[in-house]
Structure 1
Amino acid sequence: MKKLDKLILGSFLGPFLLTFIVVDFILLTVNMLKYFDEIFGKGLSFWIYMELIGYFVISISPMALPLAVLLSSLMTFGNLGEHFELTAIKSSGISLLRALRPIGVFVIVLSFAAYLSNNYLVPKVNLKTFGLLYDIRMKSPALDIKAGVFYSGIPGYSIKVNEKVGEYGLKDILIYNHAAGRQGNLDVTLADSGRMEPFFSENYMKLSLYHGKNYNEAKQPRGIKEKPVEFKRTTFDTNEIVFDLNNTFKLNRTAEDAWSTNRSIKNISEIKLGLDSIGTLVNEQRYKNYLEAEGVYPFFTRDRSFKPAADILDRKALDDTIRLHKMRRDKARVDSIHEVKNQAKKDTSTIIIDSPETKTLATRDGQNTAIEQPVALSTEIAASDSLFALPKSNKLENELPELDTNAVVVPKKKVVRAPRNTMLTDQERAQIDSLITKRNLNKSAITMALNNSRSLKNNFDVKKAQIDNYERDFRRFQISWYQKYTQALACFVMFMIGAPLGAIIKKGGLGMPVLISIIFFIVYYMITMTGEKWAKEGVVDPLFGTFFSIICLLPFGVFFIKQARKDARLFEPDFYIAAWKSITKRIKDLRPKAN
């Protein structure tokens, strides 16, 4: 590496690391503010919050990288231009593209690293982020009873204290007990004073009440004539209530398998599997629509059928083949397991050899042991046959009439009518029409047809809604797939915009570069959100919608590089004054001269 490359790359790495940390912190603050009310104030340890913040930092890094590259490259070449170092480089015969090469190589490597991070690291971190964030949301707030306010953080209890004395002392305590599914304020406890102290490693909380009363009323049954319910009033000098805080105020971690269907935690290969599964569901719904429509109109489909489209049939055949292959593979695996188990049983179990006289026990070592117990196989067989034999004194046999063997049985002839080839006469047609008219079959047929049509329409609407949901999920999976590439390419596009723009502005520091960087990043973010929204709603193809921001910003990068090579002064008034004069001069030259 030459000294020039070291100089330019060294002047870039410092601002890049600084801007990346600053941008990451800003995006972290924005994301944390969304969940501020849900994650803070629950008495969690410092390391839980640090773990969540670490997950957030890694998750938002792909979004912070393009802005960091844009700002740092603009600052680097702005500083070189401001201190006339860029002018010295050009005067020595080195072109601008050659000066951009070291940072360009670094940004290409950074883009590849960003792709690997998006595909492998970020999905795993998102899985842990979702699980930890959900557990924090589900955790109850920390035990913090305030004076004059009802506290319902402990399940089944509502506690009000009028005054707090010191750390654990309480005065004028009112407790409503709603445990065991009690509805209404049927169990009320009043006390003059008390103490609430944690014990056993803060897993339990003991509430000691002094000089109070307890009012307990049974639930009023429904009806008018029932007897009055039982009412109890108890006076106590000291009463202790123990609360179990293990399941209420401790953080319970959810298994990571609960988030296995979220597309944000999948890499490209897993997203492709999800796309294939969703495509199968969509094709099955479309295929069922044809079958249901054919079943609703039996008269129409008596001699014809609703044939699905060729692509639906091809996908159905492919899915059936894959499903059959999986079934055979699973069956072969199960059969092999059973075969191994049966072989093991044969090797370890004993074999019984039956003989008419004795039973001989044969073991694996070849030694036979005779058991002196006669076995009458013929008796057992006879007994088994007798189970299926009818008794001689069966009542059915006596009740059957005696058959006359001399009687002659004449078989009944089957009448077969030949098909009619002639048309119906007017009289026959009138008789059929009269039957339809008299029995009001026309209205019944119309009503049946309307009901079938409405049922078919409702089924189609339900299936259409299901297909729309599946297709929306399909597009979202595609967007998640393409985002892993676009977020990496955005780093290189931002470098193409920032580096030549800094060479044109020729101002470093945190003034003009920060302003221009924020403007371009906002434009990039708005275009990205717009394209992804179009893709989610099916307005444009997901590939085009995801790459829409790259397509829009890439011409700006090419334009700025072209202007930087010509040392154009885009941000100086003289440039636009000269351009306006050139335009007006051409307009005058195009006007016809007066004779």
Structure 2
Amino acid sequence: MKRLHSFILKSFLGPLAFTFLICMFVLLMQFLWRFIDEFVGKGLEWTVIAEFLFYVSATLVPMALPLAILLASIMAFGNMGENYELTAMKAAGISLQRIMKPLTILVILISLGAFFFSNNIMPIASLKTSSLLYDIKRQNPELILKEGIFTNDLPKFSIKVGKIDKQSGMLYDLLIYDHRENRGNTNVTVADSGTMITSADKLTMNLTLYSGNIYEEVRQKIRRRNKHHPFRRIKFGAYRTSIALPGNELHRTDEDKFKNSYRMLNLTQLENQKDSLENGLLKKKENFGKSLIAKYYFRKEMKSLRTDSIKRKKLLAKTSDVDSLFSSLSVNKKLTSISNALSYARKARENVSRKDQEFIASTKWIQKYKNEWHRKFTLSFACLIFFFIGAPLGAIIRKGGLGMPVIISVLFFIIYYIISMTAERFSKELVMQPFWGMWTSTIIIMPLGIILTYKATTDSTLFNIENYIDFLKKLNPFQLLKRKSSADN
């Protein structure tokens, strides 16, 4: 049995490593396709890009690992079924459960490792990814000039070039707007030709212009509208200046800025953060209720009554019966009282409506922490469920390689992913509880694994196309009439 277990483990580990790398590569390319604009023209060093890809790869493990287990289990058992190795094992009296036993233990260990990874490694990887992506987005791009198009890549400057000689690097028909004084388009430079050369330390841009003019509006203490303002024009044959560049070094942001987000916390931190947010929301609701009662339901007594105790006692005696107090008022005072009451009611309704939206937004934010708490466990269960779907499915279809297993694996994973994303969206919108939002896909897919395991154990021909063809032939009306006539005879 040790040799048999070793053979089964080798048949599974090879496809698992291969499919996991393929899944990670595909998901990583899909991620880069989304954020490719943030990297182009930033002059980032290869070490920064490699670091970012490493952290992103760690965040993609929850999607790649279950799919890799599903695909590897189908390939492993499909290959053994196609080569009649499963048939030989069953003929020797070894059941499918015993064949799956070493892989079941292995997948359980992988699931425990996935839980540890999700709870301890994923928060750190998410924190590093978010922080580094934020810094990359803030990085100023390198200066890229295009013919006939204004370029704003240079800080405080807007540059347009008519023609670029790619061999000599000479620029022609230059139009430069200088916005360093933040006064609008008050400094314009026009030149027939020129060159732009970056210094060796990449901190300055040396600009040399030939045969042009500088138009600058003269600053005045009082600027009047609809009036002509003086300006100066400087004509030059050759003009040289230096422009300070922001530098291509990546400025790192303090990671503490992102550490309280729900994706950057483990189970204990999520629980503590959720409790603090819920307590804060409860206090806000209590304080709002008290302020609402004090401002709009029970008005404070007039200042004159605070010093006059006799008038206050009389008023309190009258207010014990509100209806009789209202009946004792004159018509004008009744109308005034009703108008004031309506005004207070409208203000209270507006205030309640505004606060209700704030409370709903806070509740949705708390819901994300609850969803993330459940997500720590769904990865482990997804690995187990996909194994118990893929292993019996491979034993039934008996096809190895990357053909049929890939199609079936991707189909099952897409169904699982759509259900998971839809239920999670319902949970974020407060339509479903966090438990159902995060576990619905698992609850729906789990019976499928049980059914497939039972069918594979009983040697079911669930995916035998010939059986379905024979069944359709039996439903053919001509065949039914032929059978009926033969039975009558």
Q: Same fold (TM over 0.5)?
A: yes
Aligned ranges 1:337-416 → 2 under 5 Å:
none
Match of 2:330 among 431, 436, 439: 436
Contact 2:140 2:246 in 1 (8 A): no
**CA distances 1:19-78 after superposition (whole Å, capped 9, x unpaired):** 000011111111111111222232222222222211111110111000000000000000
Counterpart residue number, 1:475:
367
Counterpart residue number, 2:25:
25
Write the distance in 1 (CA, Å) between the matches of 2:289 and 2:231. 67
Contact 1:80 1:506 in 2 (8 A): yes
Counterpart residue number, 1:291:
290
Write the distance in 1 (CA, Å) between the matches of 2:310 and 2:187. 86
Counterpart residue number, 2:487:
none
Write the distance in 2 (CA, Å) between the matches of 1:225 and 1:68. 71
Aligned ranges 1:117-196 → 2 under 5 Å:
117-165=117-165, 166=167, 168-184=169-185, 186-196=186-196
Counterpart residue number, 1:251:
250
Counterpart residue number, 2:233:
233
Counterpart residue number, 1:79:
79
**CA distances 1:168-205 after superposition (whole Å, capped 9, x unpaired):** 42223221112210213x21112232221121422211
Write the distance in 1 (CA, Å) between the matches of 2:396 and 2:68. 19
Counterpart residue number, 1:264:
263
- Structure 1 residue 117 displacement after superposition: 1.0
Contact 1:285 1:463 in 2 (8 A): no
**CA distances 1:384-419 after superposition (whole Å, capped 9, x unpaired):** xxxxxxxxxxxxxxxxxxxxxxxxxxxxxxx999x9
**CA distances 1:324-350 after superposition (whole Å, capped 9, x unpaired):** xxxxxxxxxxxxxxxxxxxxxxxxxxx
**CA distances 1:81-133 after superposition (whole Å, capped 9, x unpaired):** 11110011111111100100111111111111111111111111111111111
Relative to the length of structure 1, the TM-score reads 0.72
Amino acid at match of 2:53: I
Amino acid at match of 2:405: P
How has the CA–CA distance of structure 1 residues 468 and 433 changed in structure 2, closer, same or farther, with 3 Å as cutoff?
closer
Structure 1 position 491 matched with structure 2 position 372? no
- Structure 1 residue 206 displacement after superposition: 0.6
Write the distance in 2 (CA, Å) between the matches of 1:23 and 1:210. 56
Amino acid at match of 1:545: G
Write the distance in 2 (CA, Å) between the matches of 1:174 and 1:290. 62
How has the CA–CA distance of structure 1 residues 434 and 68 changed in structure 2, closer, same or farther, with 3 Å as cutoff?
closer
**CA distances 1:336-379 after superposition (whole Å, capped 9, x unpaired):** xxxxxxxxxxxxxxxxxxxxxxxxxxxxxxxxxxxxxxxxxxxx
Counterpart residue number, 1:529:
421
Write the distance in 1 (CA, Å) between the matches of 2:225 and 2:58. 66
Q: Secondary structure at the match of 1:551?
A: helix
Write the distance in 2 (CA, Å) between the matches of 1:101 and 1:431. 85
Counterpart residue number, 1:447:
339
How has the CA–CA distance of structure 1 residues 293 and 581 changed in structure 2, closer, same or farther, with 3 Å as cutoff?
farther
Q: Secondary structure at the match of 1:246?
A: coil
Aligned ranges 1:194-205 → 2 under 5 Å:
194-205=194-205
Contact 2:147 2:164 in 1 (8 A): yes
Contact 1:73 1:495 in 2 (8 A): yes
Gaps of 5+ in 1: 302-414, 584-595
Aligned ranges 1:493-508 → 2 under 5 Å:
493-508=385-400
- Structure 1 residue 219 displacement after superposition: 5.4
Contact 1:196 1:208 in 2 (8 A): yes
How has the CA–CA distance of structure 1 residues 431 and 146 changed in structure 2, closer, same or farther, with 3 Å as cutoff?
closer
Structure 1 position 565 matched with structure 2 position 449? no
Amino acid at match of 1:155: P
- Structure 1 residue 159 displacement after superposition: 1.4
How has the CA–CA distance of structure 1 residues 211 and 299 changed in structure 2, closer, same or farther, with 3 Å as cutoff?
closer
Write the distance in 2 (CA, Å) between the matches of 1:127 and 1:287. 34
Amino acid at match of 2:85: E
Counterpart residue number, 1:544:
436
Amino acid at match of 1:43: G
How has the CA–CA distance of structure 1 residues 43 and 87 changed in structure 2, closer, same or farther, with 3 Å as cutoff?
same
Counterpart residue number, 2:483:
none
Q: Superposition RMSD on alpha carbons, in Å?
A: 3.0
- Structure 1 residue 246 displacement after superposition: 2.9
How has the CA–CA distance of structure 1 residues 25 and 442 changed in structure 2, closer, same or farther, with 3 Å as cutoff?
same
How has the CA–CA distance of structure 1 residues 167 and 559 changed in structure 2, closer, same or farther, with 3 Å as cutoff?
farther
Contact 2:55 2:128 in 1 (8 A): yes
Counterpart residue number, 2:210:
210
Q: Secondary structure at the match of 1:179?
A: coil
Structure 1 position 105 matched with structure 2 position 105? yes
Counterpart residue number, 1:69:
69
Amino acid at match of 2:388: M
Amino acid at match of 1:532: E
- Structure 1 residue 222 displacement after superposition: 4.8
How has the CA–CA distance of structure 1 residues 197 and 289 changed in structure 2, closer, same or farther, with 3 Å as cutoff?
closer
**CA distances 1:508-537 after superposition (whole Å, capped 9, x unpaired):** 111111111011000110110111112112
Structure 1 position 281 matched with structure 2 position 308? no
Q: Secondary structure at the match of 1:201?
A: coil
Deviates most, 471-480 or 234-243: 234-243
Q: Secondary structure at the match of 1:460?
A: helix
**CA distances 1:293-344 after superposition (whole Å, capped 9, x unpaired):** 432222899xxxxxxxxxxxxxxxxxxxxxxxxxxxxxxxxxxxxxxxxxxx
How has the CA–CA distance of structure 1 residues 223 and 577 changed in structure 2, closer, same or farther, with 3 Å as cutoff?
closer
Amino acid at match of 1:176: Y
How has the CA–CA distance of structure 1 residues 102 and 579 changed in structure 2, closer, same or farther, with 3 Å as cutoff?
farther
How has the CA–CA distance of structure 1 residues 544 and 416 changed in structure 2, closer, same or farther, with 3 Å as cutoff?
closer
How has the CA–CA distance of structure 1 residues 582 and 549 changed in structure 2, closer, same or farther, with 3 Å as cutoff?
farther
- Counting aligned pairs with the same residue, the percent is 37
How has the CA–CA distance of structure 1 residues 300 and 224 changed in structure 2, closer, same or farther, with 3 Å as cutoff?
closer
How has the CA–CA distance of structure 1 residues 299 and 188 changed in structure 2, closer, same or farther, with 3 Å as cutoff?
closer
Contact 2:326 2:334 in 1 (8 A): no
Relative to the length of structure 2, the TM-score reads 0.87
Write the distance in 2 (CA, Å) between the matches of 1:138 and 1:416. 69
Write the distance in 1 (CA, Å) between the matches of 2:128 and 2:121. 11
Contact 1:168 1:197 in 2 (8 A): no
Write the distance in 1 (CA, Å) between the matches of 2:253 and 2:107. 39
How has the CA–CA distance of structure 1 residues 223 and 192 changed in structure 2, closer, same or farther, with 3 Å as cutoff?
closer
Write the distance in 2 (CA, Å) between the matches of 1:430 and 1:5. 92
Write the distance in 1 (CA, Å) between the matches of 2:403 and 2:126. 35
Amino acid at match of 1:80: M
Q: Secondary structure at the match of 2:140?
A: coil
How has the CA–CA distance of structure 1 residues 232 and 290 changed in structure 2, closer, same or farther, with 3 Å as cutoff?
closer
Write the distance in 1 (CA, Å) between the matches of 2:137 and 2:218. 36
Write the distance in 2 (CA, Å) between the matches of 1:479 and 1:457. 32
Write the distance in 1 (CA, Å) between the matches of 2:6 and 2:284. 61
Counterpart residue number, 1:114:
114
